[in-house]
Structure 1
Amino acid sequence: MPIPEDVTGEEIDKDVRQELQSLPKTLAEDVAKNLVMVARLIDEDPEGAYGYSRVALRLASRVAAVREAAGFAAYASQKYGEALAEFRAARRMTGGVELWPVMADCERGLGRPEKALDMAGAPEVQKLDKAGQVEMRLVAAGARRDMGQLDAAIVTLQSPELASNSVQPWTARLRYAYADALLEAGRKNEAREWFAKAVEADRDGSTDASDRLAELDGVEFVDAMDEDEAEASSASVEVDDDEVDDEDGDEDGDDDRDRG
């Protein structure tokens, strides 16, 4: 797959670059460039990112960072079985637990929420950092909702992290998930309160909490471009009506001349 000229491979994280040092220099550079493309495309073009991840995987399947990148690209493309296999491979190579929550979410994607809940209660969760534990809580709550256990999902999300007033990288998503579960349970007023709290914490726009809040408040947004198109369409209709009137007038005139 083509690599843009502005991609050098130096953009990757230093830890990943260090992993690639086990490869011949030219090969390491090629792998690095493909990993940069994965990171660049994964949010806006998951399928494109997946394609680059497969190239990197063919070049260096024995590098844990490559297996992890391939896993995230497959996950973003909703290829959950493939993602889970790559995450498991990366975990075997590193012995770490950081991928445990996303592995559990892959189980959800494969229609196995019970397996995700089993993973949420496994000893590995205690080895996760705070961010990982919050992520695991979100996955567990999602699994509960998958199983129709809405009240249990709400209880799962109730935690010191949810109650805290301090804003952490996970705060907006945690509040959003809680608000969404409350809304599904018919607790609209509470849901509105928590969507508002999610908006306060969502400094980088990682959720659509502001839109959900506006929807609850009955606010409708009109796209400026849509408005312009509507006005242009209206003007076009008016012009067409005028043309029809002119044509009618001309036909009447012709009839008068013929009768004369």
Structure 2
Amino acid sequence: MERGGYRGGSDRRDDRPSGGYRGDRGDRPYRASGNRSEAPRRGYGNDRHRDEAPREPREAAPELPEDALPYRLDAEVRGELTTLPKSLADVVAKHLVAAGELLGEDPERAYQHAVYARRKASRIGAVREAAGLAAYSVGKWQEALSELRAARRMNGRNVYLAVMADCERGLGRPERALEIAHGPEAEGLETAEQIELRIVAAGARRDMGDVRAALVELQVPELKERRARPWVARLFYAYADVLLELGRTEEAREYFSRAAAVDQEGETDADERLAALEGVEIVDIGEDVVWSDAEDPDFEDGPGDQAAGMTVPADMSEAPAGDEDSPRGAAPDETDAEVPSDREDESS
């Protein structure tokens, strides 16, 4: 299922509760009321049995990368952590840094660090945000939604409404995704965040089988934007994708081209989609990109250039016979052109 431009993992669900900071009443310490013999065996009422009760082993912390240092954390988040003891704040900060660094390259490890930080500081809004984004990156839609809702209650921020709406799509609830996208909370968002919500809303419309309505969701004034920004590239790409599904190939080609032109951070695969429409293929040779005709029967890979990822004419793939020392495809020596052939000698 399309994720509306957002990256999601497999459609796994985790229905366990998100935690929070209100424990179950049965876990609260016993409050003595005069008759100590009536106290339960756990808690403060009976220390003998308390020592004998089996203890659950503490879950080991995930190994931190060497560069996971507290000072690398965003200053605003560090400010939120000042409510914790200094030593605990440093530990949480390190795991938040690790989660942020690993989110793109190793989402599973990022998730482990974020969950560990949440266990240590579940009352910090930034920690719950990090846990929600990490859960989202591994496809735990319900857990991500719960964490981000908790973060909103703590800090009142709406910046992750698009992620929350996309989680609703992941859970098979596109109608709820549209409610979030068009709710009153979305009106005060910055332009980039509003565009992300539009992209998710278009994806929800496509989930519901209404492709034309998806196109309408994306018809915003920002389609005329020319500056190279990640959200602009994503908007152009989403618009081109819907156009292509509607069979409007020429317009789709135009917007894939626009997306490729402004996508300086590699947010989309607009280059590949445009190449497919143009009937060419992209051959990667290290850091360079070579465009070559994918369907020309007169061209094929020569043995010498195949490893380099280049295409050369078939008749140039070997050096001319009888000239083993000359480079392949080199022009004949000028002196050879002046030597008369045997047939010319006979005629003279």
Alpha-carbon offset, residue 49 of structure 1: 0.5
Superposition pairs of residues 227-246 of structure 1, within 5 angstroms? 227-228=306-307
1:104 and 2:183 matched: no
> Who is 1:253 aligned against?
none
Superposition pairs of residues 6-85 of structure 1, within 5 angstroms? 6-85=67-146
**What SS does the aligned partner of 1:93 have?**
helix
Superposition pairs of residues 79-228 of structure 1, within 5 angstroms? 79-223=140-284, 227-228=306-307
> What is the alpha-carbon distance in structure 1 between the residues aligned to residue 73 and residue 226 of structure 2?
34
Letter in 2 for 1:189: E
Alpha-carbon offset, residue 39 of structure 1: 0.6
Give CA deviations for 1:170-207 in whole Å, capped at 9, x if unaligned: 10000000001111111111100000000111011111
TM-score, normalised with respect to structure 1: 0.84
> What is the alpha-carbon distance in structure 2 between the residues aligned to residue 39 and residue 51 of structure 1?
11
> Who is 1:250 aligned against?
none
Count of aligned positions: 230
> What is the alpha-carbon distance in structure 2 between the residues aligned to residue 124 and residue 224 of structure 1?
47
Q: Which has the higher helix share?
A: 1
Give CA deviations for 1:21-58 in whole Å, capped at 9, x if unaligned: 11111100110000011011101111110011111011
Give ranges in structure 1 of 5+ residues lacking alignment. 231-260
> What is the alpha-carbon distance in structure 1 between the residues aligned to residue 64 and residue 183 of structure 2?
41
> What is the alpha-carbon distance in structure 1 between the residues aligned to residue 116 and residue 123 of structure 2?
13
> What is the alpha-carbon distance in structure 1 between the residues aligned to residue 100 and residue 123 of structure 2?
19
With 192-201 and 91-100 compared, the bigger mean Cα shift is at 91-100
Letter in 2 for 1:188: T
Give ranges in structure 2 of 5+ residues lacking alignment. 1-61, 287-305, 310-348
Q: Percent identity?
A: 56
Which of the pair has the greater relative contact order for Cα pairs under 8 Å at 6+ separation? 2
Alpha-carbon offset, residue 229 of structure 1: 11
**What SS does the aligned partner of 2:281 have?**
coil
**For the structure 1 residues 7 and 119, does the alpha-carbon distance in structure 2 shift closer, same or farther, using more than 3 Å as the test?**
closer
> What is the alpha-carbon distance in structure 1 between the residues aligned to residue 308 and residue 138 of structure 2?
34
Give CA deviations for 1:109-131 in whole Å, capped at 9, x if unaligned: 11100111111221111121111
> What is the alpha-carbon distance in structure 2 between the residues aligned to residue 187 and residue 74 of structure 1?
37
Give CA deviations for 1:192-239 in whole Å, capped at 9, x if unaligned: 0000000111011111101111111111234559x4399xxxxxxxxx
With 63-72 and 157-166 compared, the bigger mean Cα shift is at 157-166
User: What do you get for the CA RMSD once the two structures are aligned?
Assistant: 1.8
TM-score, normalised with respect to structure 2: 0.63
> Who is 1:239 aligned against?
none
